[in-house]
Amino acid sequence: MNALGAGRGGAGFVGVLGWPLDTTLSPILHNVAFRQLGLDWVYLRWPVAPPDLEDALRGMRALGASGANVTMPHKATIVEHLDELTGDAEAIGAVNTVQRVGDRMIGHNTDIGGFGEFLVGDAGFHPKGASALVLGAGGAARAVVKALADLEVRNISVAARKTENARAVASLVTEGHPKTEARVVTWDHAHEDVGSNALVVNATPLGMGGEAPLQDAEFNSNQYVVDLIYAPPSTPLLERARAQGASAWGGLGMLIRQAAASFEIWTGRQAPLDAMSAAAIRAIGHLD
């Protein structure tokens, strides 16, 4: 059974690969979507430690899984275990969606499109010609930088604790994006760069446990601030940005958008976005 065939009426199962995977809304989003469309599918949690990732993929093949979502810390390391990458996944070297077609495992990245759709369609940000600061150097940061370059943001500044990792993320815009320039700012001085950017994106885990990146930054009413964390729904960064007049958004919108794209890859059916959004909003307040 391949993913496309299953989506045309057969049963299927998918899941999310991550570690430690303490908090995830993905099973709720997708299982609601399967029920809404009457599909005999199920979405499972698969906590997989980094040393066991290759074995987990072998298990998916052996059991006939239709695919998987991929989250921290596997988005980059899973690449070497797949048979093929689609364009966005190959461009940034990060995968968040695996599709099984026959015996082949194909890696996609729906974070890029998901972030862009959220930023423009939900948050109402106008990216063309704007400047942005992105915190982080992992798979999420790579997706955000690629999405912003595709949307013709004029300047992107990247800050990460390891400067060499920030340089690697910034290098994603050196080819194919002539209208975008990227540079690296040091982590310790990133707060000084906030005021010169219309958009600030936190693509790090800082905030999940109450941490506050950019503690000394000053925000203003002309700025948009996005924290990709969705649990808790309001982080210290968002609270401070809102208090200073910025338009501040959590990561739930991007989560729903990328999940809908993954759903469509696996099933070949249009995702019931309204039902997924409603389920996410109901569930978000009950996450630990």
- Omega within 30 of 0 (cis) for the link into 232: yes
Cβ atoms of 65 and 73 closer than 8 Å: no
**Confidence class for position 287, pLDDT limits 50, 70, 90:** low
From 75, 128, 162, 179, the catalytic residue: 75
DSSP annotation string for 135-155: E--SHHHHHHHHHHHHTT-SE
Q: What is the mean pLDDT of the chain?
A: 94
Answer whether residue 232 shows pLDDT above 50: yes
Answer whether residue 214 shows pLDDT above 90: yes
**Which letter does DSSP use for residue 205 in this model?**
S
**Mean pLDDT value across residues 94-105:** 96
Q: What's the confidence (pLDDT) of residue 5? A: 39
Helix (H, G, I), strand (E, B) or coil at 184: strand
Count of residues making up the chain: 288
**Higher pLDDT residue, 210 or 265?**
265
Answer whether residue 2 shows pLDDT above 60: no
Answer whether residue 18 shows pLDDT above 70: yes
User: Domains in the chain, please, with CATH?
Assistant: 3-109+255-284 (3.40.50.10860), 112-250 (3.40.50.720)
Answer whether residue 71 shows pLDDT above 90: yes
Place of tokens 């924290």: 227
Task: Give pLDDT tens digits for 139-150.
Answer: 999 999 999 999
Angstrom distances, CA of residue 189 to CA of 7, 213, 222, 288: 49, 11, 21, 32
Q: What's the confidence (pLDDT) of residue 9? A: 52
Q: What's the confidence (pLDDT) of residue 284? A: 87
**Mean pLDDT value across residues 156-176:** 94
Least confident of 106-115, 131-140, 276-285: 276-285
State in Å, rounded, how far the first CA of the chain is from the last one: 36
Least confident of 1-10, 59-68, 239-248, 252-261: 1-10
Answer whether residue 156 shows pLDDT above 60: yes
Question: Which of 104, 109, 166, 111 shows the shortest CA–CA distance to 134?
Answer: 166
**Mean pLDDT value across residues 104-122:** 98
108 burial type by CB count under 10 A (0-12 exposed, 13-18 middle, 19+ buried): buried
Task: State the pTM of this model.
Answer: 0.93
Cα–Cα distance for residue pair 269/157, rounded to 1 Å:
37
Helix (H, G, I), strand (E, B) or coil at 44: strand
What percent of the chain stands above pLDDT 70? 96
Q: Is 162 a catalytic residue?
A: no
Answer whether residue 1 shows pLDDT above 60: no
The values of phi and psi at residue 22, to 5°, are -70, -35
